[in-house]
Amino acid sequence: MFLTISTTGTPERPATDLGFLLHKHPGKAQEFSTSHGTAHVFYPEATAERCTAALLLEVDPVALVRRGHGKGRGGAPDAALAQYVNDRPYAASSLLAVALSGVFRSALAGRCTARPDLPEQPRPLRVEIPALPARGGAELVHRLFGPLGWASVRTEPVALDERFPEWGDSRYVRLVLEGELKLDDALRQLYVLLPVLDDAKHYWIAPDEVDKLLRAGDGWLAAHPEHALIAARYLARHKRLTQNAIERLELARLAEADGSEAEELDNAVDESPDAEERSVPLAVRRREAVLAALRTAGAARVLDLGCGQGQLVQALLKDVSFTEIVGVDVSMRALATAARRLRLERMGERQSSRVTLLQGSLAYTDKRLAGYDAAVLSEVIEHLDLPRLPALEYAVFGAARPRTVLVTTPNVEYNVRWESLPAGHVRHRDHRFEWTREEFRAWAGQVAAKYGYTVAYVPVGDDDPEVGPPTQMAVFTTATDTPKEGEAA
Ligand code: SAH
């Protein structure tokens, strides 16, 4: 199991600084005993211009079995283990990632006692992995490394056997990454993504594995479009741990983007000086449109999904026809603000029995959300990565299944009308997408058809003859009580 890391340099910034960064002297070959065998670190080249460090792990089958890795979860011998013993000895599997973290612990943490300034500096790096086991193939390798700041991600198929090209390709690819990165960022990516690509079933999941993932993913994983796949595979598809990891990643991302600005920005752009009369802020008009649609639907028990700081919950409480109001958000910080806004603590018993705030991610089915009259998703869907949207659709339309669902989202066509919004920009940093009217209708129509709802569209804000309204709302109503057969999976 084998990988190399190279860098180039100049007399002032010699490439051999790599030795300091890795805490391994370029002049000697070293051996380390790890839980899975012996790791070797050596430098095939070490000049001021070019320096390459190689990490090679000699897997020791006896050590593997002694450590209990030879047994599956139920204690039965694990057939997947055989792969590591019979595998090409240089395949860079999840075991190599474990060796990497052991041998280069300080480098992974970005520590360098001898030269504390070094880890801070990005440098030209080239990582080569001659045989990377990749379940999902080269395409997935590109999806995973593509968004991580490398100038080039190259993959080549590895033939099953060079002597017999007609046998086709093996499950390995040769991977070369090149770019200007900090070494610790590169190592932490590899530490996470090697086991993710290997997708080995035998991988032992310790209780602190989520913490390890989040530590190694610091600064790159939360914003990665494939963070859900990465978490699921890294955690060997352990459901509860994966859910926990994804929630914490979503929170980290929202904290970075500061999830509270959506309304502020809408207000700011709404009050642009060219507005004829002081217009009602868009957020207020949106709330009024939602309240009107809920009243028309005759809803009494209402979910506010992605309730944020609780403005809608507060408005619902003022109308006694809403007998039960549940605000759900993934962000504890938003919920804490909502609780303060509502003065939950000082609320009388009668009032407080009407309202509940729940923490949870909308990308998971949640039994607590079943059986309500209506659900509101106000300015929420655009905060989810597109690949995660079907999970939300299932959780809301398939599992919770309220009679009415209201979804609002920005109409991107209207963005040209915001004076203060530079062309081509979304309205909020955390928006993963903003749709045209046509795109929104295509999405809503397909969701309605899949889950047995009918859908109508309501403009929110001034309906511009050319570009439409600033906010678009879809009103879904159940056509049947249960989803169409076979659609609910
Ligand atoms: N509904 C409010 C807030 C919109 S901002 C309004 O109309 O003003 C989007 C909200 O969705 C944020 O509070 C964010 O924390 C929440 N959110 C984003 N992704 C979520 C998820 N996966 N699960 C639950 N809430 C989420």
pLDDT in the model for residue 357? 94
Same domain, 165 and 291: no
Same domain, 62 and 151: yes
With contact defined as beta carbons under 8 Å apart, do 368 and 296 qualify? no
- Pick from 8, 12, 296, 24: which is nearest to 178 by CA? 8
pLDDT in the model for residue 487? 46
Using 50, 70 and 90 to split pLDDT, how confident is the model at 63?
A: low
Nearest-10 crossing angle of helices 227-234, 239-257: 150
- Pick from 131, 150, 153, 129: which is nearest to 141 by CA? 153
pLDDT in the model for residue 287? 95
pLDDT in the model for residue 332? 84
* CA 389 to centroid of ligand 1, rounded, Å: 13
Q: Whose CA is nearest to atom 16 of ligand 1?
A: 306
The CA–CA distances, whole Å, from 289 to 71, 228, 285, 327, 376 equal: 59, 34, 6, 18, 11
Q: Which of 184, 203, 222 is the last residue of a domain?
A: 203
With contact defined as beta carbons under 8 Å apart, do 281 and 323 qualify? no
Reported as half-sphere exposure (CB side, CA atoms, 13 A), residue 113 has a value of: 4
Residue 350 belongs to some domain of the structure: yes
Residue 245 belongs to some domain of the structure: no
pLDDT in the model for residue 256? 65
| pLDDT over threshold 80, residue 259 | no
Q: Which one is predicted more confidently, 64 or 408?
A: 408
pLDDT in the model for residue 243? 86
CATH of the domain at 98: 3.30.1610.20
The pLDDT of 314-327, averaged and rounded, is 94
Q: How distant is the alpha carbon of residue 245 from its chain centre?
A: 9
pLDDT in the model for residue 254? 73
Ligand 1 contacts CB of residue 361 (under 6 A): yes
Same domain, 287 and 196: no
Ligand 1 contacts CB of residue 303 (under 6 A): no
**Pairing state between β 324-329 and 152-159:** unpaired
- Pick from 300, 311, 483, 343: which is nearest to 401 by CA? 483
Residue from 333, 380, 382, 406 to probe ligand 1 pocket by mutation (most atoms less than 8 Å from CB): 380
pLDDT in the model for residue 253? 77
Ligand 1 contacts CB of residue 334 (under 6 A): yes
Per-residue pLDDT tens for 144-159?
999 999 999 999 988 7
* CA 185 to centroid of ligand 1, rounded, Å: 30
Ligand 1 contacts CB of residue 380 (under 6 A): yes
Residue 217 belongs to some domain of the structure: no
Residue 239 belongs to some domain of the structure: no
CATH of the domain at 465: 3.40.50.150
Using 50, 70 and 90 to split pLDDT, how confident is the model at 164?
A: low
Q: What percent of the chain has pLDDT over 90?
A: 56
Residue 244 belongs to some domain of the structure: no
Same domain, 411 and 281: yes
* CA 25 to centroid of ligand 1, rounded, Å: 50
Residue 249 belongs to some domain of the structure: no
| Ligand 1 atom showing the smallest separation from residue 254 Cα | 15
The pLDDT of 223-233, averaged and rounded, is 92
- Pick from 32, 57, 52: which is nearest to 42 by CA? 52
Q: Strand, coil or helix: what is 29?
A: coil
Ligand 1 contacts CB of residue 308 (under 6 A): yes
pLDDT in the model for residue 275? 38
Using 50, 70 and 90 to split pLDDT, how confident is the model at 64?
A: low
| pLDDT over threshold 90, residue 480 | no
Q: Which one is predicted more confidently, 113 or 51?
A: 51
Lowest mean pLDDT among 7-16, 120-129, 160-169, 266-275: 266-275
* CA 442 to centroid of ligand 1, rounded, Å: 22
Ligand 1 contacts CB of residue 250 (under 6 A): yes
Ligand 1 contacts CB of residue 262 (under 6 A): yes
Same domain, 194 and 287: no
Structure tokens at 26: 């370029």
Ligand 1 contacts CB of residue 179 (under 6 A): no
Ligand 1 contacts CB of residue 410 (under 6 A): no
Q: Which of 203, 224, 242 is the last residue of a domain?
A: 203
pTM, rounded to two decimals: 0.58
| Ligand 1 atom showing the smallest separation from residue 408 Cα | 7
Give the number of domains in the chain: 2
Separation between Cα atoms, residue 80 and residue 198, nearest integer Å: 11
Q: Strand, coil or helix: what is 335?
A: helix
Q: Strand, coil or helix: what is 156?
A: strand
Q: Which one is predicted more confidently, 305 or 274?
A: 305
* CA 306 to centroid of ligand 1, rounded, Å: 3
With contact defined as beta carbons under 8 Å apart, do 331 and 254 qualify? yes
The number of beta carbons lying within 10 Å of the beta carbon of residue 368 is 13
Q: Which of 203, 223, 248 is the last residue of a domain?
A: 203
Per-residue pLDDT tens for 347-394?
888 888 999 999 889 989 999 999 999 999 999 999 998 988 999 999
Lowest mean pLDDT among 18-22, 173-177, 261-265: 261-265
pLDDT in the model for residue 438? 97
Structure tokens at 317: 């409480």
Ligand 1 contacts CB of residue 382 (under 6 A): no
| pLDDT over threshold 80, residue 70 | no
Same domain, 182 and 281: no
The pLDDT of 461-469, averaged and rounded, is 93
Residue 261 belongs to some domain of the structure: no
The number of beta carbons lying within 10 Å of the beta carbon of residue 249 is 22
pLDDT in the model for residue 72? 40
Q: Whose CA is nearest to atom 11 of ligand 1?
A: 306
With contact defined as beta carbons under 8 Å apart, do 53 and 43 qualify? yes
Same domain, 196 and 328: no
Average pLDDT, the chain: 84
Same domain, 159 and 41: yes
Same domain, 153 and 296: no
| Ligand 1 atom showing the smallest separation from residue 384 Cα | 19
- Pick from 278, 358, 282: which is nearest to 325 by CA? 358
* CA 386 to centroid of ligand 1, rounded, Å: 15
Ligand 1 contacts CB of residue 369 (under 6 A): no
| pLDDT over threshold 70, residue 105 | yes
Residue 229 belongs to some domain of the structure: no
Q: Which domain holds residue 151?
A: 2-203
* CA 451 to centroid of ligand 1, rounded, Å: 23
Ligand 1 contacts CB of residue 185 (under 6 A): no
* CA 462 to centroid of ligand 1, rounded, Å: 24
